[in-house]
Structure 1
């Protein structure tokens, strides 16, 4: 499973997302701007060191900056958002600083990105995890449900109690993709397993994540998958505390390989890797080369290695890895369609005979 994550860009243009007539705007020009190109990002409230989504985006931007000899803070930088009210001022501040491409990290920034894009039509903006149908915005999306299905397979096979958990950040269309993909994977591997689900309604409340995890582990869950950003760090804290006291529990990380977050108690079973870093890098490169995908949906899925399981596999059984490989092929070949919504999950469940 330690395959090379050499992600290829896949642009999916949908009827409502590609807006005609981009020629008069700055978007999508044919000539690049490699000299003095500047790129920046605005974090959501989880922060740039959230060990998850924002951090992955910043790592991709740092790599892009270094590979292209950009100077930190002048050629590439981030602005921290401590509250949602910071999103729009941060985006506008970077525009005033003449950055050529500005990323809004996270779906919670969608309305602010839309408003700024409408007001600053010469600006190039990109948003991660949401579609903003403006011709000067690149919308970056992922097939998180497919990667979540794979870690669900692992959880279903490796649970000893037949009880696992899912902790979500904000209950939303996006995080529902993680939940339903995970539940489908667990079901496919182990129809007898129960999946407990709870949302913290926050991506930056580690203490709430810890409390939810404590309840789930207390009810017998031995594996919890989190899709909760900084809130998920509390799940790791609870698991490590329990493991110190001799309880055999695990966490499945998200967005990046979170093996290190489970140390030194070694509680990370695996992680669902979502290559936000590569997406930021690739879209930045397109913009620098004069190929900014304004008005487009740029989608990263399992078929392009945009999602998957982490390369750290020491705690994953050979049986589980084999099943992951089998289902990867089935999903890519179209033999298995992974559910994204509650309705799709119920349909998937009925086909499984349960």
Structure 2
């Protein structure tokens, strides 16, 4: 079964607003309990609440994990149900992930959501043992089962818009892409970005780099690696850098700000993240994906007694992905805004098909 993410702009805006609170909530412990919502829980809902297990980098990454947390918090408030969020551990195994999800399911949490493709095998294994619990997996569609919702996105579409913005904003005709880890998921970000840049000007030089070959090497959770990568690309001549690197993206953005070039954020609207406020004037925009909205929609479906299952894919056409425009400097660049808006329209209308590989 396939579904599209469907939500109003009010839900997306509310989730984005909640992301402000998430940025200050980094935890060093492996298990934390969120504040329980007040009042009685939703009528007909019999679960203990929402169970959320974070990806590498954990809560406080100002990006992917915080977006999921914001969706969870909004759902807790709207549906008056509690929740529990659990942090990953450094160097953990797949068995650790299985144990984490099993504990949440055994405790009665429903849905149980793994944030990140690394939870794919664990979700598939644990979901088979708890057929009456709904599971969600963000950024993976291999754990398909009747009680699993695979929450995935057309990342290449938002990245295409980032490429168009970069190509229109560069003054040196030289831009860069930095991926956290050299994996197929991040290849989609690169492919969309490169195609977007080349749609504007095929002569623009594009630097590309992956910080590590495997997640265990820290490509998604090492701001110092992001900083070093950005420094190298800036030294090579790039004046706009797009990073798809999770927590490592903080280093990319801070280095771009220090060297007075543009950075393009990812997943969340990073211009609006309080923890990145010192660098926000250098954040041209962000290629967003509505992870928070996907988490919220899954919880709502369970509370309503009609749990989602199968592939649930976010795209430009359903506001599952996009390009943020909150920086006033970006809004003042009329030619950049017009180009990005036209590119978005062309993709939605089917005039442009964005590749997922170069």
Answer whether TM exceeds 0.5 for this pair: yes
Q: CA deviation at 1:123?
A: 2.8
Q: Counterpart of 1:304?
A: 318
Equivalent of residue 76 in structure 1, options 79, 83, 94: 83
Contact 1:50 1:229 in 2 (8 A): yes
> SS where residue 312 of structure 2 aligns?
strand
Is 1:41 the counterpart of 2:52? The answer is yes
Do structure 1's residue 97 and structure 2's residue 104 form an aligned pair?
A: no
Aligned-residue CA RMSD in angstroms? 1.9
Q: Is the 8 A contact 2:72 2:296 kept in 1?
A: yes
User: How many angstroms apart in 1 are the aligned matches of 2:188 and 2:329?
Assistant: 25
Q: Deviations over 1:20-47 (max 9, x none)?
A: xxxxxxxxxxxx8435551111001210
Give the paired residue count. Answer: 307
Deviation at 1:95, TM superposition (A): 1.1
Which runs of 5 or more structure 1 residues have no equivalent in the other structure? 9-31, 243-247, 343-354
Indicate if the aligned counterparts of 2:64 and 2:268 stay in contact, CA closer than 8 A.
yes
**Aligned counterpart in structure 2 of residue 252 of structure 1, from 244, 256, 264:** 264
The equivalent of 1:20 in structure 2 is: none
Following TM superposition, by how much is the alpha carbon of 1:274 offset from its aligned partner in structure 2, in angstroms?
Answer: 0.8
Are the counterparts in 2 of residues 7 and 306 from structure 1 also a CA contact under 8 Å?
A: no
Matched, 1:88 2:93: no
Question: After TM superposition, which residue ranges in structure 1, 4 or more long, deviate above 4 angstroms?
Answer: none
Query: Which of 233-242 and 219-228 deviates more?
Result: 233-242
- Residue equivalent to 1:118: 128
If each structure's helix is expressed as a fraction of its own residues, which one has the higher value?
Answer: 2
Equivalent residue for 2:338, pick from 322, 330, 335 = 322
Distance in 1 (CA, whole Å) between partners of 2:189 and 2:221 is: 18
Equivalent position to 1:186, from 194, 197, 209: 197
- Partner SS for 1:263: helix
Q: Is the 8 A contact 2:98 2:122 kept in 1?
A: yes
Contact 1:165 1:225 survives alignment (8 Å): yes
Deviation at 1:112, TM superposition (A): 1.4
**CA-CA distance at 1:313 after TM superposition:** 3.5
Contact 1:147–1:309 under 8 Å retained in 2 = yes
Contact 1:7-1:304 at 8 Å conserved across structures = no
CA contact (8 A) 1:270 1:315 kept: no
Q: Is the 8 A contact 1:240 1:262 kept in 2?
A: no
Please tell me whether residue 154 in structure 1 is matched to residue 168 in structure 2.
no
Deviations 1:293-314 (A, max 9, x none): 23x1111110011111114042
Tell me the TM-score normalized by structure 2. 0.82
TM-score, normalisation: structure 1: 0.82
Out of 134, 140, 145, the position equivalent to 1:130 is 140
**C-alpha distance after superposition, 1:208-248 (max 9, x if no partner):** 11111110011011111011100111112212332xxxxx3
| Aligned partner of residue 60 in structure 2, secondary structure | coil
Out of 289, 299, 313, the residue aligned to residue 304 of structure 2 is 289
Identify the match of residue 240 of structure 1 among 240, 257, 282: 257
Q: Secondary structure at the match of 2:308?
A: coil
**Which residue number corresponds to residue 268 of structure 1?**
283
Please say which structure displays the higher CA radius of gyration: 1
